[in-house]
Amino acid sequence: MEIFWYISIAVVLAVFFILDGYDFGTGIIHLFFAKTEKDKEVIAKSAGLFWDSNEVWLVAAGGMLFMAFPTFYASVFSGFYLPLILVLWLIIFRAIGLELRSQFKFQMWKDIWDTSFGVSSLLLALFFGIALGNIVRGVNLGGVDNGISVHEGHYFFLPLWDGSFSPLTEHPGVIDWFTIIIGLIAVVTLAIHGANWIILKTNSSINTKLKGVIFKLNIILAILTVFSLVVWQVVNPNSLDNFGDKPYLLIFPLIYLSGLVGLFFIKKIKKDSHAFVLSSLLIVGGITSSLASLFPVILPSVNDTHEPLTIYNTAASEYGLSVGIYWGILGFLLILIYMIIQKRLMKGKVDNMDYGH
Amino acid sequence: MEDMIFYDRLQFAFTITFHYIFPQLTMGLSLMIVYFKWKYLRNKIEKYNDSAKFFMKIFAINFTMGVVTGIPMEFQFGTNWAKFSELTGGIIGQTLAMEGMFSFFLESSFLALFIFGEKLMGQKLHLLTGFLVFLGSWASGWFILATNAWMQHPVGYEILENGKFVLENFSALFSNPWLLPAFLHNQLASVVTSSFVVASIGAFYILRNKQIEHGKLFLKTGVIFGLISSILVAFPTGDWNAKNVAKHQPAAFAAMEGIFETEEAGAEIVLIGQPNMVEKKLDNKIAVPNILSFLTYQDWDKQINGMDKFEKEELPDNVPALYYSYHIMVGLGTVFMGIMALAAFLLWRKKLYNIKPLLWTIMFLVPFPYIANLTGWYTAELGRQPYLVYGLLRTSDGISPTVSSGNTLFTLLGFVALYMLLGLLFLVLVGKTINEGPKSKLH
């Protein structure tokens, strides 16, 4: 039962990062590569038309997490208080940028909101990566200080940083050199993903150039990936044990690897949608590999006093989880139907899409 | 500890108040959009279709605002009310997760299709997409009210030794006697808001002598919907809710009605007065004897317990705020009925469009249904105090144990600043849409 909800939430989260991921990535590309007004307009539009329905997936993931693993929800959301609120603000700021930029036709106005869209997209990608880094690194559950717990064993509170910026101290902060590396991986991944989206959905003049950008970013990503695996061993020497014990879990890193390798052939790929699928594989593979390395743990503890949070010690009651399955399956079927209908009607490039078309 | 609870409550109150500006319009407006579109299919008069499409643009702006201000609501259960989430998540998580699954996806998918797909789908399917948007937005209200109903009047649960609430009966969440009256009352109140918005924009076009034909249609539709909804919101639905409060939360009932002392021979209804919490009485009171007993129990002499009958720990912690919220809501509701009845009468006599003072009044009344909706919610939420789950879990026991008040004050200030900006954005977008008007560029 716990596993059903764990997998469902992982799927919803993965879909969220594929969908909202492309509009974060679009913002990053917009910030660095869009030069002419025409390109800026159409690139912003390729995110602007879709971002709000993409963020519905975040609401869904949050709701499901709340329902199935309330203790985890309570612990993690209060423990990561500041970064989560910052994420909320960035989401709002980004939305303001996207919705306002085309409302008035003078350059300074557009520049302001373009910057707000681009910078908050970049920071969001960074923060989501850092969040993932925190989850795999673990936190000081119970706030143990010199062997004494300050909080109940399943609660903690993390400051944004600890002066040392090291993941190896007794009280690691949200931002340290390890989580920063994971954050950078997220930024690069989503930038690649966003570039693929732009190529797929627009006729912008930089589409050809973006393929070169994707190629270069992919080299950086490969280096960062290898580097992160090495430092992960330093932070947590047992991090890859799960894959040794259960070799079938290796499917997830393979998904990531297939995306990474495939994207080196970006210039040879004929169909733009195939490239988009490859960067989606990066995202899915990255998230699922991280989760699989921890399973059934969902938040490791960096001290020995308190047990890590697992899907079993944070779950709601058996009855609640099992009634949820009935409406959960119904809900997923309905969402699938909506997506098919929407996909069929909203296909094609966005350049000329407008109210009434 | 005390200021911690204060900042947590203030932040939730502020963010939910700002958030609820948007869904209260979209729920009511979606019903009116379906009406316009349906009329167009029957009479093929272009301005009905224009109206449906125009209000869907307004809907879309509000939906966007609802999404970006709604995500913080969901997050705050965990960030600021972690203990509450931990203890009750197994129950209210159900209804909140269902909201995400059954209403937001429906709403957002078909909103996009309604806006972009008219030509592709044809008129009948276009009406259907509009109807599905309506269904999604009302489903959202249903699940939120189900969540709130459980907090007001908990059912279908069991409490474990460690204090956790576990779900024992799923269907009880939806057959909760609190739910249906609260849902109907809330939905009708949102129709009141949308009626006033539609009528107000209509009055604006007529007074500005611009897009007059659409203006008249808006005004007429707004007045008819407004009259019906502002009557139904008071009777029977408001009445049901008051009776529910009297039955299940008698301490809250005494406080919201401003009854300090129990009168054995039947309770008076307070029209005006200021609660004086030191002397435990109402200053400058104007009241009518025995009416409250009659309205609540259909018995002129029935005794209603005043606040003197309850322990201090059982009474809402902010009696004046609760009392004012309730009286502002009821007072405004009465004004709405009066104005809409007058407007409807003049509409029937075919004089409405020429009576400028009334058009100005209708135009400027637009903030007040929002105020009435919000004070209605304040009544429900302040009345529930000092509990999160009525009678079972105190508000002070629900906050996050590890977050300090300094952090909460910081984020509260941030939300205030950011929402100011967001409010400005909203006004710009809505103002621009209204200024462009419903007449499609194609004809």
The helix or strand, by DSSP H or E, that contains position B276, with its residue range, turns out to be strand B269-276
Which residues in chain B are closer than 8 Å to A355, comparing Cβ atoms?
A: 53, 57, 115-116
pLDDT, residue A354, reads: 58
Residues A276 and A198: their CA atoms lie apart, in Å, by 10
Find the closest chain A residue to B115 by CA distance: A355
**B72, B85, B94 member nearest A74 (Cβ):** B85
* Beta-carbon contacts of residue B69 (< 8 Å; ≥ 6 apart): A92, B15, B18, B19, B22, B419, B422
Question: Cα distance from A265 to chain B (closest Cα, Å)?
Answer: 34
Residues B377, B73 contacting (CB under 8 angstroms): no
List the single best residue of B26, B54, B68, B443 to mutate versus A (max A Cβ within 10 A). B68
d(CA A213, CA B73): 38
Q: What mean pLDDT is reported for chain A? A: 90
CB contact under 8 A, A316 and B80: no
Distance from CA of B73 to the nearest CA of A (A): 10
**Tens of pLDDT, residues A265-314:** 988 888 888 999 999 999 999 999 999 999 899 999 988 889 999 999 99
Of A183, A70, A91, give the one whose Cα is nearest residue A136: A183
Residues of chain B found within 8 Å of residue A23, distances taken between Cβ atoms: none
- Among A78, A104, A344, the strongest candidate for a mutation testing the B interface, having the largest count of B CBs within 10 A, is A78
DSSP state, residue B275 = E
What pLDDT does residue B395 have?
94
CA B144, CA A70: separation in Å to the nearest integer? 18
Dist. CA A44–CA A116, nearest whole Å = 12
With a pLDDT cut of 90, the percent of chain A lying above it is 62
Residue A99 with chain B: CB contacts under 8 Å: 64, 425, 429
CA distance B57 to A44: 19
Q: Are B168 and A319 in contact (CB < 8 Å)? A: yes
Is residue A27 within 8 Å of A48, Cβ to Cβ?
A: no
User: Any residues with CB less than 8 A from the CB of B177 and at least 6 apart, and which?
Assistant: B153, B244
Question: Which of B75, B144, B407, B433 has the most A C-beta neighbours within 10 Å, making it the best mutation to test the interface with A?
Answer: B75
Interface residue of B22, B56, B61, B71 to substitute, partner A, most A CBs within 10 Å? B71
Question: Does position A133 have pLDDT exceeding 90, yes or no?
Answer: yes
The contacts of residue B386 (CB under 8 Å, 6+ apart) are: B313, B314, B315, B316, B317, B394, B395, B396
Across the interface, do B119 and A356 touch by the CB < 8 Å criterion? yes
Which of A2, A59, A322 should be substituted to probe chain B, the one whose Cβ sees the most B Cβ atoms within 10 Å? A59
Of residues A141, A13, A109, A19, the one with CA closest to residue A68: A13
Does A216 have pLDDT greater than 90? yes
Q: Which residue matches tokens 């269904």?
A: B135
- Tell me the C-alpha distance between B29 and B23, whole Å: 10
Whole-number pLDDT of residue B440: 58
Task: Using pLDDT thresholds of 50, 70 and 90, give the confidence band for residue A224.
Answer: very high
Considering CB atoms only, which of B99, B109, B403 is closest to A63? B99
Q: Point out the residue among B71, B91, B112 whose CB comes nearest to the CB of A55.
A: B71
**Which DSSP category does B233 fall into?**
I
CB-nearest to A155 from B401, B404, B418 is B401
Shortest Cα–Cα distance, A289 to chain B (Å): 25
* Closest residue in chain B to residue A336, using alpha carbons only: B105
Which residue among B82, B116, B418 sits closest to A74, beta carbon to beta carbon? B82
Nearest to A320 among B94, B108, B111 (CB): B94
Task: Tell which of A53, A124, A139, A346 to mutate to test the B interface (max B CBs under 10 Å).
Answer: A53
- CA-based nearest distance A38→chain B, Å: 22
Which of B68, B97, B403 shows the shortest C-beta gap to A95?
B68
Residue spans per domain, chain A: 2-345
Q: Which long-range contacts (CB under 8 A, 24 or more apart) does A111-119 make?
A: A114/A30, A114/A31, A114/A40, A114/A44, A115/A31, A117/A27, A117/A30, A117/A31, A117/A44, A117/A47, A118/A27, A118/A28, A118/A30, A118/A31, A118/A32, A119/A31
Distance from CA of A150 to the nearest CA of B (A): 9
Tell me: pLDDT of A356 over 60.
Answer: no
Contact yes or no for B83 and A84 at CB 8 A: no
Q: What span, in angstroms and rounded, lies between the C-alpha atoms of B89 and A145?
A: 29
**Which amino acid makes up residue A102?**
S
How many Cβ atoms from other residues are within 10 Å of residue B334's Cβ?
12
Q: What is the pLDDT of residues B36-66, one digit of tens each?
A: 999 999 999 999 999 999 999 999 999 989 9
Task: Give B407's contacts in chain A (Cβ within 8 Å).
Answer: 81-82
Q: Do A320 and B400 touch (CB under 8 A)?
A: no
Q: How far is A89 from chain B, CA to nearest CA, in Å?
A: 7
- What is the token pair recorded at A356? 């009434």
User: In this predicted model, which residue has the larger pLDDT, A226 or B425?
Assistant: A226
Nearest to B167 among A157, A319, A339 (CB): A319
Contact indicator for A204, A298 with CB cutoff of 8 Å: no
Give the pLDDT score at A357: 35
Least Cα separation, residue B355 to chain A (angstroms): 35
pLDDT(A162) > 80: yes
Give pLDDT tens digits for B254-294. Answer: 999 999 989 888 888 999 899 999 998 888 889 898 889 98
The partner residue sitting opposite B407, judged by closest CB among A82, A152, A339, is A82
CB contact under 8 A, A316 and B57: no
Give the per-residue pLDDT at B443: 41
SS3 A27: helix
Q: How far is B131 from chain A (nearest CA, A)?
A: 14
Q: What is the pLDDT of residues A136-152, one digit of tens each?
A: 999 989 888 888 888 88
Predicted pLDDT at A304: 87
Q: Name the residue facing B77 among A66, A75, A341 (closest C-beta).
A: A66
pLDDT at B221: 96
For residues B149 and B157, what is the distance between their CA atoms, to the nearest angstrom?
Answer: 13
* Contact (CB<8Å) B400/A317: no
State the pLDDT at residue B384: 95
Q: Do A78 and B94 touch (CB under 8 A)?
A: no
A320 and B64 within 8 Å at the Cβ level: the answer is no
What's residue A237's pLDDT? 84
Contact flag B78-A355 (C-beta cutoff 8 Å): no
d(Cα B407, Cα A180) in Å, to the nearest integer?
23
CA dihedral defined by B383, B388, B393, B397, rounded to 10 degrees?
A: -120
Collect all residues with Cβ–Cβ distance below 8 Å to A185 and sequence separation of at least 6: A129, A221, A224, A225, A228, A286
**Structure tokens of B383?**
């009345």
How many CB pairs below 8 A link A and B? Answer: 230
pLDDT tens-digit map of B117-152: 888 888 999 999 999 999 999 999 999 999 999 999
Contacts of A322 in chain B (CB under 8 A): none
Q: Per residue of chain B (443 residues), what is the pLDDT tens digit? A: 678 899 999 999 999 999 999 999 999 999 999 999 999 999 999 999 999 999 999 999 999 899 889 999 999 999 999 999 999 999 999 999 999 999 999 998 898 888 888 888 889 999 999 999 999 999 999 999 999 999 999 999 999 999 999 999 999 999 999 999 999 999 999 999 999 999 999 999 999 998 999 999 999 999 999 999 999 999 899 999 999 999 999 999 999 999 998 988 888 899 989 999 999 888 888 989 888 998 888 888 888 899 999 999 999 999 999 999 999 999 999 999 999 999 999 999 999 999 999 999 999 999 999 999 999 999 999 999 999 999 999 999 999 999 999 999 999 999 999 999 899 889 988 999 999 898 755 44
Q: Is A178 helix (H, G, I), strand (E, B) or coil?
A: helix
Mutate to test the interface with A, among B15, B54, B65, B86 (most CBs of A within 10 A): B86
Distances (CA, A) of A178 to A122, A231, A232: 18, 7, 8
